[in-house]
């Protein structure tokens, strides 16, 4: 059986019939869309998706910081700028 990575799940048919109500019920949480009781897709509100993308960008930035932590470094004096 496939794992559903959401607290809220609906069938494809139900999503087609009640799209607006489902979004309202889900509030700001992701919705698992099931096809034959298996996850087919996840529906994310725009605000949730934007937070997710910002978090991924932060993780990528942190990875770069770790990779560059040991140098090489360039000596720069403020007076030279």
pLDDT at 52: 95
DSSP string, 15-74: HHH-HHHHHHHHTTS-EEEEETTEEEEEE--HHHHHHHHHHHHHHHHHHHHHHHTT----
pLDDT at 71: 87
Q: pLDDT tens digits, residue range 4-53?
A: 989 999 999 999 999 999 989 988 899 999 999 999 999 998 999 999 99
Tell me the pTM. Answer: 0.72
Confidence tier at 1 by pLDDT (50, 70, 90) = low
């Amino acid at each position: 059986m496939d794992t559903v990575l959401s607290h809220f799940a609906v069938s494809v048919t139900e999503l087609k019939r009640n799209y607006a109500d489902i979004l309202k019920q889900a509030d700001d949480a992701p919705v698992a869309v099931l096809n034959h009781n298996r996850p087919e897709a996840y529906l994310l509100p725009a605000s949730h998706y934007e937070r997710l993308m910002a978090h991924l960008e932060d993780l990528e930035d942190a990875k770069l910081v770790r990779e560059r932590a040991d140098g090489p470094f360039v000596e720069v004096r403020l007076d030279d700028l």
